[in-house]
Amino acid sequence: MNWQSALKGYELYIKLEKGLSKNSVSAYLSDIQKLWDYSKGELGYNSYSQLTYDDLSNFMGYLKEQNQSPYTRARLTSSIKSFFNYLMIEKMIPTNPSELLESPRLGRKLPDYLTVAEIDLLIAQIDLSKAFAHRNKTIIEMLYSCGMRVSELTHLKIHDVIADDQLVRVTGKGSKQRLVPIDQYTLKLIRLYLIEERNQQQAQKGEEDVLFLNRFGKRISRVFVFTLVKKLCQMAGIQKNVSPHTFRHSFATHLVENGADLRSVQEMLGHESITTTEIYTHLEQKGLRDAVLKYHPRNNSD
């Protein structure tokens, strides 16, 4: 079987059996395409079955020479392992050449986040007298107060907001759903947005229950949210490299700083593994350290 046929089968596998999102599927296929291009161009191979561990290891070295970041190379390693695992499951290769392939070591640096004051300053730039201002303010508040991914926000439905229980139903990666608590202030903003703007719009067919609509009555796009955040940061004079995902990191960081345990944060973020949430571990440890220094009797003795 050639590369094209294998890729089609692999695409169905990660879509249907692994339940990956559209964006994840696209990323995995793009990574395997890079390996295919290298295989043909640098090695002269015409089949995935010709690839050995040494070939894959050399490919990772080639990426490093091309100044690809450790994070990019780590993602590619994951994609390659996933692809060859699929080939093994389907008995399309006798051995797995990626089995011993190691991912580059990554630092555990906490991503950039915004302070509460910076978030308030950013939101203050929204002129509520302008069109769609209530929508834009609600978008920013929900990104921060619920810690959701931008793709999760753009797919929110009106019925996902369970106001009586102060919860939002969020559909994450692999169509997995989770319930995230939402504060009364943000619920008030949602109600105001629905009354002042959303209920006045004519939604396009199939979009009637979508919470956030653009001026054409269709769901807002990820690009729109990125553009909105960048514009507000520019107006507020915030120099940090801020994206919609920064609000997710801010949500988690502020929770941990104020005493939330990692398991609770993991559940609210929708991380499948606790290891993903562990980038916030040093904040939790700092809180423990401060508590010991403040309250332990030995530390207060002369």
Domain extents in the chain: 3-89, 116-289
Residue 210 CA from chain centroid, whole number: 21
How confident is the model at residue 252, as a pLDDT? 86
Which entry of 135, 137, 219, 248 is annotated as an active-site residue?
248
Amino acid sitting at position 220: I
Distance CA 17, CA 22 (A): 13
Which entry of 64, 169, 245, 282 is annotated as an active-site residue?
245
Q: What is the DSSP letter of 212?
A: S
Which entry of 173, 178, 222, 230 is annotated as an active-site residue?
173
Q: What is the DSSP letter of 220?
A: P
User: Would residue 169 show up in a list of annotated catalytic residues for this protein?
Assistant: no
Q: What is the DSSP letter of 283?
A: H
Contacts for 222-227 with beta carbons within 8 Å, 24 or more apart? 222/150, 222/151, 222/154, 225/139, 225/143, 225/150, 225/153, 225/154, 226/150
Give CATH superfamily name and number for 116-289: Intergrase catalytic core (1.10.443.10)
Give CA angle at 73 (69, 75), nearest 5°: 115
Output the CATH code of domain 3-89.
1.10.150
Structure tokens at 267: 């559940």
Amino acid sitting at position 296: H
Can you give the pLDDT of all 302 residues of the chain as single tens digits? 577 888 899 999 888 877 777 888 888 899 999 999 999 888 888 888 899 999 999 999 998 888 888 888 888 898 999 999 999 998 999 999 998 888 777 655 666 889 999 999 999 999 999 999 999 999 999 999 999 999 999 999 999 999 999 999 999 887 888 999 999 999 999 999 999 999 999 999 999 999 999 999 999 999 999 999 999 999 999 988 899 989 988 988 888 878 777 788 888 888 776 666 666 665 555 554 454 445 445 455 44
Q: SS3 of 163, please?
A: helix
User: Would residue 13 show up in a list of annotated catalytic residues for this protein?
Assistant: no
User: Would residue 245 show up in a list of annotated catalytic residues for this protein?
Assistant: yes
User: Would residue 173 show up in a list of annotated catalytic residues for this protein?
Assistant: yes
How confident is the model at residue 231, as a pLDDT? 95
Distance CA 237, CA 256 (A): 27
Amino acid sitting at position 14: I
User: Do 211 and 191 form a contact (C-beta atoms < 8 A)?
Assistant: no
Q: Which residues contact 92 (CB under 8 A, 6 or more apart)?
A: 1, 6, 49
Q: SS3 of 172, please?
A: coil
Which entry of 34, 178, 271, 282 is annotated as an active-site residue?
271
Distance CA 172, CA 168 (A): 12
User: Would residue 230 show up in a list of annotated catalytic residues for this protein?
Assistant: no
For 166, phi then psi, to 5°, come to 55, 50
User: Would residue 248 show up in a list of annotated catalytic residues for this protein?
Assistant: yes
For the entire predicted model, the pTM comes to 0.62
Which entry of 135, 137, 149, 249 is annotated as an active-site residue?
149
User: Do 130 and 267 form a contact (C-beta atoms < 8 A)?
Assistant: no
Closest C-alpha among 79, 82, 73 to residue 103:
73
